[in-house]
Amino acid sequence: MKIGLVYNGKNPPAATARPQGADWNLEFDDQETIEAVARALSRIGEVVEIEAVPGCREKLAFHRPDLVFNIAEGFDGPNREAEIPMILDELGIPYTGAGPEALRFCLDKHRTADFLRRRGVPAPRGRVFTAGEKVSWDLSFPAIVKPLREGSSKGIRDDCLVGDLAEMADKVDRITRRYRQPALVEEFLAGREFTCALIGNNGDLELLPPVEINLAALPPGARPIYSYEAKWVWDRPEDPLPIFTCPAEIDENLKSALTATARRAYLLSGCRDWARIDLRLDRSGVPHSIEINPLPGILPRPEDNSCFPKAARAAGLSYDDLIARVVETAKKRCAL
């Protein structure tokens, strides 16, 4: 079997990079991750690595892999994650994970939360503001301000948890200008935080052991959010924060509530093969879906504190087993 690995690397060819600020490539994969995935895939078939930059359509058409393992995040805009799946659909090449419509949908955190809430899945209430728009707020404080469609806590700084309108307007202004996209302001869910990794499809969907994000492990004075600083500054491979507990220490009631919310969010949003749902409890202990990650991060080294591989390890799956499971799931769905 010929397997294509389509990715966005942290150092794309200069002519295709579109740097904006120091964190412009935060969502992209480092060489170590690309190599680790390629190594895992090489146990299943012949691997062709293709960087998701202009010209990749021609490479895909030339190599015609039997299946693509897609981890490409795309550069910019509301369709960035959908671009490669659209090309693959057009070429008739099957691939792992969600299709373009679900990727585009989940990237918009506000649309996803509203959609889920209307279907009875708890999700935070929020408002969206575009650059220069007057900020008003009819929901409760504290609130959290974040870019509408980023990941890896890009733009979610420790100071994004705000207590009044002036602070909110300041963060909205910073985010809309810096990230050239609307800012999403949400009611802050103050309870425990979890993330649930799922593998499978309709009828056969497995939840890996939930991970708790131990916000109490953050340095003194830090706000209780899994911010940019928490992910990339305070937690370093050479000095990791004890930020995850997996399996999470939870009772059966909470486990089934988390499972139900994560499963419904996954299925309603049209995820396929694998995805990770971030959840947080409100004051009364009800899990809310904060966001859906149909392209979950998969840093290979345990010290890098990456949730999906961590949950897989707790389920007895090595990194290579995890990649193989995703491939198997996609093959089954596509009847390959």
Ligand X SMILES: Nc1ncnc2c1ncn2[C@@H]1O[C@H](COP(=O)(O)OP(=O)(O)O)[C@@H](O)[C@H]1O
For binding to Mg ion (CB under 5 A), which residues are involved?
278, 291
User: Which one of residues 146, 223, 263, 310 is an interface residue with ligand X (CB under 6 A)?
Assistant: 146
Nearer to Mg ion, 235 or 291 (CB): 291
Nearest CA-CA partner of 199 in 308, 103, 304? 308
Q: Which stretch binds ligand X (CB under 6 A): 28-36, 151-159, 200-208, 269-277?
A: 151-159
**Contact set for ligand X, span 174-213 (CB under 6 A):** 186, 188-189, 193
**Contact set for ligand X, span 111-130 (CB under 6 A):** 124
Distance CA 67, CA 246 (A): 31
SS3 190: coil
Q: Which residues pair with 147 in a beta bridge?
A: 183
Report the partner that residue 225 touches, choosing among Mg ion, ligand X, none (CB closer than 5 to 8 A by kind).
Answer: ligand X
204 φ, ψ (degrees, to nearest 5): -145, 75
Told to check if 310 binds ligand X by CB under 6 A, we report no
Q: Please, are residues 159 and 146 in contact by the beta-carbon 8 Å criterion?
A: no
Told to check if 50 binds ligand X by CB under 6 A, we report no
- Supply the Cα-derived Rg of the chain in whole angstroms: 19
User: Which one of residues 39, 66, 135, 152 is an interface residue with ligand X (CB under 6 A)?
Assistant: 152
Distance CA 327, CA 275 (A): 13
Per-position DSSP letters for 230-268, written without gaps between them:
IIIIS-BTTB----EESS----HHHHHHHHHHHHHHHHH
Nearer to Mg ion, 12 or 147 (CB): 147
Told to check if 223 binds ligand X by CB under 6 A, we report no
Nearer to ligand X, 41 or 144 (CB): 144
Nearer to ligand X, 54 or 219 (CB): 219
Q: Please, are residues 299 and 306 in contact by the beta-carbon 8 Å criterion?
A: yes
**H or E stretch including 118?**
helix 109-118
Q: Which stretch binds ligand X (CB under 6 A): 49-57, 84-92, 149-157, 312-320?
A: 149-157
What is the nearest approach in angstroms of ligand X to the Cβ of residue 192? 10
What is the nearest approach in angstroms of Mg ion to the Cβ of residue 37? 21
Told to check if 271 binds ligand X by CB under 6 A, we report no
Q: Is the dihedral of CA 142, 148, 152, 155 positive or negative?
A: negative
Told to check if 27 binds ligand X by CB under 6 A, we report no
Nearest CA-CA partner of 186 in 133, 226, 135, 146? 146
What is the nearest approach in angstroms of Mg ion to the Cβ of residue 167? 22
What is the nearest approach in angstroms of ligand X to the Cβ of residue 308? 13
Distance CA 246, CA 244 (A): 6
Report the partner that residue 144 touches, choosing among Mg ion, ligand X, none (CB closer than 5 to 8 A by kind).
Answer: ligand X
Q: Which residues bind ligand X (CB under 6 A)?
A: 109, 124, 144, 146, 150-154, 156, 186, 188-189, 193, 225-226, 278, 280, 290-291
